[in-house]
Amino acid sequence: MAQIRELKKRMVAVRTIQRITKTMQMIATAKFTASLVRSKATRPYTDRIRGLVGEVAAAAGSDFSHPLMSAPATVAKRELVLVIASDRGLCGAYNGNVLRKANIAIKALNASGKQAVIETAGKKAIAFFRFAKLEVAEKHIFGDKPQFAQVEALAKRLMEEFSQGKYDAVHVVYTRFVSSSKQVAESMQLLPLAAPAAGAAVASSNYEFSPSGAEILADLLPKSVVVSLFQAFNDAAVSEHVMRMVSMKAATDNAAGLGRTIRRNFNRARQARITTELTEIVSGAAALE
């Protein structure tokens, strides 16, 4: 009897957990869909402005220079690492992957004789570096739907500090969204900007610039940094939601499987009890004859 009561309690507990994980899965699915639409909407603009920067840079010629395209004249021996994680857990290996990647990047910088200055976006990153006893210079909480104005303000500050020679380079460690089944934690060099691809010179020959390519490029480069950082935040948000959706689906399926197992054990225990009671009744009746 005690075993049956215990199995009943477990069935109720598993059903409750299953309802919670199912609800969380549905919420994550809705958020994933919304964030994917947002990321897809910004991706063409990001890719085009990067391509345009390469084409205009090729047209401007090798004589063109800009503070965002080259390391500062004075070597600071400091590089900034911005780590983008989530505010909440229950999203599988999302935070573990990106924080592991960040830890590797930071150790590599320190091993090369450079000081890694850490900035974080997301409560999980803050908690990780607090546990690791690593100092965090700036902490940002943008939520799972970062606003362009917030990211733009951050990008402008990073560009200003880089131009002033505070850092030799700025890196962003985030999770790049490839597809619903593939998300990759990677480190992207935000500053200095990479030199234009070799093929950009051919494409640039089809344009005539007024004002000059150098003037246009001086305006485009800061915009390229802003949209690249914004795209990184968008990719991170999409990756977080899809990994939470997958994790909650797995938890829901596991709860359903566990529930079936407990139900089967419950039925067996109840059947055994009924059989025992019938046997006792038959034995008692036989004894009275």
Q: What is the pLDDT of residues 190-201, one digit of tens each?
A: 999 876 655 555
Identity of residue 56? V
Q: What is the pLDDT of residues 170-180, one digit of tens each?
A: 999 999 999 99
Given this model, what pLDDT does residue 81 score? 98
Of 4-13, 66-75, 146-155, 220-229, give the lowest mean pLDDT range: 66-75
Provide the 10 A C-beta neighbour count for residue 234. 25
Given this model, what pLDDT does residue 225 score? 95
pLDDT score of 27 more than 70: yes
Of 78-92, 131-145, 199-213, give the lowest mean pLDDT range: 199-213
pLDDT score of 134 more than 60: yes
Mean pLDDT of the chain: 89
The proportion of the chain whose per-residue pLDDT surpasses 90, expressed as a percent, equals 66
Pairing of strands 169-179, 78-84: parallel
Provide the 10 A C-beta neighbour count for residue 86. 25
Question: What span, in angstroms and rounded, lies between the C-alpha atoms of 150 and 118?
Answer: 18
197 versus 213: which is more confidently predicted? Answer: 213
Contact by Cβ (8 Å): 196, 112: no
- What domains, with CATH codes, occur in the chain? 26-246 (3.40.1380.10)
> Which tokens sit at 53?
């920067």
In sequence order, the 6+-apart residues with CB closer than 8 A to the CB of 46 are 227, 228, 230, 231
Pairing of strands 136-140, 115-121: parallel
